[in-house]
């Protein structure tokens, strides 16, 4: 994710883990942080952060990722 969602409307439009085997990806889940993170290892598959939101723009991010978005 190069551009971070700043509003809930932008987050709802974003799709996580889109690739050739899963072209539609997964939709935003509001009970999770809106940051797209990748799994460790060889796969490099991206998914939505599993931490609770409540910080940053429109309270979309966890405490750790809110610092990254605000600093961007």
What own/partner pairs with CB < 8 Å and gap ≥ 24 does 24-30 have? none
Query: pLDDT tens digits for 9-46?
Result: 999 999 998 888 889 999 999 999 999 998 887 777 88
Q: Among 19, 32, 22, 25, which Cα is nearest to 65's?
A: 32
Helix, coil or strand: residue 47: strand
Q: Where are the domains of the chain?
A: 32-72
What is the value of pTM for the model shown? 0.84
Would you state the structure tokens that stand for residue 6, as one six-digit string? 């700043």
Query: pLDDT tens digits for 49-66?
Result: 999 999 999 999 999 999
pLDDT of residue 9: 95
Q: Among 70, 35, 27, 72, which Cα is nearest to 52's?
A: 35
Which helix (H) or strand (E) segment holds residue 52: the answer is: none
């Amino acid at each position: 994710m190069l551009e971070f969602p700043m509003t809930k409307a932008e987050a709802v439009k974003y799709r996580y883990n889109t690739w050739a085997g899963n072209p539609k990806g997964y939709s935003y889940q509001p009970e999770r942080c809106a940051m797209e993170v990748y799994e460790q290892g060889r796969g490099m598959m991206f998914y939505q952060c599993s931490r609770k939101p409540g910080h940053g723009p429109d309270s979309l991010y966890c405490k750790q990722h809110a610092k990254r978005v605000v600093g961007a």
